[in-house]
Structure 1
Amino acid sequence: MVNRFEIDGEEVLDGEVKPFGNSAHVTVPKRWRGADVKVVRTSEPDGGDDE
């Protein structure tokens, strides 16, 4: 089941979550530093590393 969200914002970035130590991260442009952001998962995880 897919949920639909409506978010007011300034810019949209498509990216891939990549491993980072014991966690993961998404890289965003440096100019976004200090901005408030929201992250929405749009697909199921690949099942690589479970918690």
Structure 2
Amino acid sequence: MTNRFEIDGEEVLDGEVKPFGNSAHVTVPKRWRGADVKVVRTSEPTEQVEE
């Protein structure tokens, strides 16, 4: 089941979540520093991770 969200914003970036130590991250442009952002997962994870 997919949910639909409507978000007012300035710019959209498509990216991939990558491993980062014991966590994961998404890289955004340096010019976004200090900005408020929202992250929406649009697919099921391809890796199974033990928490």
The share of aligned pairs that are identical, in percent, is 88
* Whole-angstrom CA distance in 1 between matches of 2:37 and 2:22: 22
* Whole-angstrom CA distance in 2 between matches of 1:47 and 1:32: 28
Count of residue pairs brought into register by the alignment: 51
Specify every segment of 5 or more residues in structure 1 that has no aligned partner in the other structure, as ranges. Answer: none
**Residue 48 of structure 1 aligns with which residue?**
48
SS of the residue corresponding to residue 50 of structure 2 reads coil
What are the equivalent positions in structure 2 for 1:28-39 lying under 5 Å apart? 28-39=28-39
Q: Please tell me the root mean square deviation across aligned C-alpha atoms, in Å.
A: 0.8
Runs (4 or more) in structure 1 with deviation over 3 Å come to: none
TM-score between the two structures when normalised by the length of structure 1: 0.94
* 1:25 Cα deviation after fit: 0.1
Specify every segment of 5 or more residues in structure 2 that has no aligned partner in the other structure, as ranges. Answer: none
* Whole-angstrom CA distance in 1 between matches of 2:3 and 2:28: 24
TM-score between the two structures when normalised by the length of structure 2: 0.94
Q: Which amino acid aligns with 2:36?
A: D
